[in-house]
Chains A and B, each alone.
Chain A
Amino acid sequence: MSEGGIEDDWTPSPIELERRAFARRASVKSILIAAASVVVFAGVIAVILASSTGWVKVREAFFDPQVFIHSLPAVGKGLLQNLKILAFSVVGVAFLGTLIAVIRTSRSPVLFPLRFLAAVYVDIVRGMPAILLLYLIGLGIPGLRLGGRIDPVLLGTIAITICYSAYVAEVLRSGINSIHPSQRAGARALGLSHMQTMRIVILPQAIRNVIPALMNDFVSMQKDVGLVSIIGVVDAVRAAQIEVARIWNFTPYVAAGVVFILFALPFVRLADWYTKKVRTREQRGGTV
């Protein structure tokens, strides 16, 4: 327990020893209580399930281990499609979201029409269920008969990009507005133009401030990519659906759910870890 290299022959006082012993007893006690609580809860749930008349049927229909293992390859292959769409959408969202945020925070009168359009875009997209947006783009654009068949994967990617750009733009906009005006004054006083100020001074700080919110949007996005199944993309959800229809058992849905969760988990943890890190840094009173 040495701190800062100061050497002394300190030994804990009896009062300190008593306090530590008490703290240890208290923590052992709370662990025991937590364990007992888990056992009781699990027992109650098990009893409710076992005593319900439909449990055996539900277990067969949703939790068949053999069907689970059997459906994993198809579901996993579908997930690769999700990942592909996710990767392209993330790039699209980063670009479009930043563009919209910069337009919405600009003050130039030249950009007024763009600012207006950006506000309308954000309002409409954020107000609309994502599933409707997917229908409109996934079924509407092919309906225009622009010539040739458009890959639903491409349409799904476009729809997800449009949807999440609106959310990300709003997060970035709040980040841009959170930067103190003195930073802008400092940059403009050096002779940096508005765009240079944005690119070099404001955005790097703004993005850092909103990284937890952006990560949250990312986690939400990778799960919503599963919605592309409704416009005919064979992704993890769609693959599970096909399996369900083939073997008349719902377990593939559970498999798809598990696969999605496992995939999201590292990012969820990463977001939590980073949010916590930022919070402790802020509470320490650091300036950066």
Chain B
Amino acid sequence: MSVPSLEPAAESQFGPVRSSEGNPGGPVLSLRGIRKVFGNHVVLSGVDLDVQEHEVVALIGASGSGKSTLLRCINLLERIDDGQIFLKGEDTSDPRVDLDKTRARIGVVFQSYNLFPHLTVLRNVDLALREVHKMPKDQAEARAMDLLDRIGVADKAGMYPDRLSGGQQQRVAIVRAIATDPELLLLDEITSALDPNLVGEVLDLVRALKSGGSTIVMATHEMDFARSVADTIVFLNQGRIEESGSPQQIFEHPSSPATAAFLERFRR
């Protein structure tokens, strides 16, 4: 099932691509030695990762390998226990940074959508534009309507999220995350809660974002999708990056036995 108005030719239809202002040519996101511990349980132990502008990175790995935790750390929803996070060269793991301002630069889409059930679809999308970026109401609504139109749910703008299908809700959540034109987009297993027949429309939207030039880090269990859309595959295993590289390299010639064993389980 494909989304109308999302032909492959329609490049950069999701607005102008941001240029790296702070550090031209440098990575959008740099992780150095990220460590995260819950009680006695070490979730992440020394993760290093660079994400370049326009790059799509797919985090793969078993449940509990730390994919979601890593994304929550990047967005500062979890405090890391060691290491550093750089967003366009700025150390966002410094306790002195403004958490709200940093989060406003990063878009996040959650596994369970996390749309606000008491607000209309339109209000969900224009909320951050109006409240965080202080855009005038008519301008914010026009931008939100435009985005909703592109994902084919403009007619549902005045409805509450529970009236939409799971796939529609997740696509609304995605445009909510990109409405403010974030420098980095984090997708946390965004198709895991969806019926199999609704997965396609959400993945098509992610493809459109990629062709629009978004910089994306996504945790996913959709191996075929990761392979076709990601520039880099990162395999997380027991809190570390076991192996990373191009999809071809990882899927066809994994150098680590753990990677090979993990991928083997996904082949039918």
**Chain A interfacial positions (CB closer than 8 Å to B):** 182-183, 185-193, 196, 200-201, 204-205, 208, 286-288
Contact = CB atoms under 8 A, between A and B. Distances in A.
Contacts of A286: 162
A191 B180 contact: yes
Contacts of A196: 131-132
Given A182-B110, A188-B77, A189-B75, A288 B118 contact: yes
7 contacts: A185-B77, A186-B110, A189-B75, A189-B77, A196-B131, A201-B119, A287-B162
B156 interface: no
Contacts of A192: 100, 127-128, 131-132
B108 interface: yes
Nearest to B75: A189
Given A189-B107, A190-B103, A191-B128, 10 more contacts: A182-B114, A186-B108, A186-B115, A189-B177, A190-B180, A191-B101, A192-B100, A192-B132, A200-B131, A201-B116
A205 B117 contact: yes
B104 A204 contact: no
Contacts of A187: 116
Given A288-B117, A288-B162, A189 B180 contact: no
A183 B124 CA distance: 12
B171 interface: no
Interface in B126-183: 127-128, 131-132, 160-162, 176-177, 180
A189 B108 contact: yes
Nearest to A187: B116
Contact of A191 (B100, B117, B119, B162): B100
Interface residues of B, number: 29
Which of the listed residues A191, A201, A208 has the most CB atoms from chain B within 10 Å of its own CB? Answer: A191
A93 B161 CA distance: 32
Contacts of B105: 191
Given A186-B110, A191-B180, A200 B127 contact: yes
A190 B110 contact: no
B112 interface: yes
B114 A288 contact: no
Contacts of A288: 117-118, 160, 162
B103 A191 contact: yes
A189 B162 contact: no
A281 B92 CA distance: 44
Contact of A183 (B99, B114, B128): B114
A191 to B, nearest CB: 3
A287 B116 CA distance: 11
A196 B77 CA distance: 16
Contacts of A204: 118
A107 to B, nearest CB: 13
Contacts of A200: 116, 119, 127, 131
Which of the listed residues B103, B131, B132, B180 has the most CB atoms from chain A within 10 Å of its own CB? Answer: B131
Contacts of B116: 183, 186-187, 200-201, 205
Contacts of A205: 116-118
Nearest to A182: B114
Contacts of A191: 100-101, 103-105, 128, 132, 180
Given A182-B112, A204-B118, A208-B118, A190 B75 contact: no
B77 A190 contact: no
A81 to B, nearest CB: 38
A110 to B, nearest CB: 15
A204 B120 CA distance: 13
B162 A190 contact: no
Nearest to A193: B100
B100 A186 contact: no
A185 B106 CA distance: 13
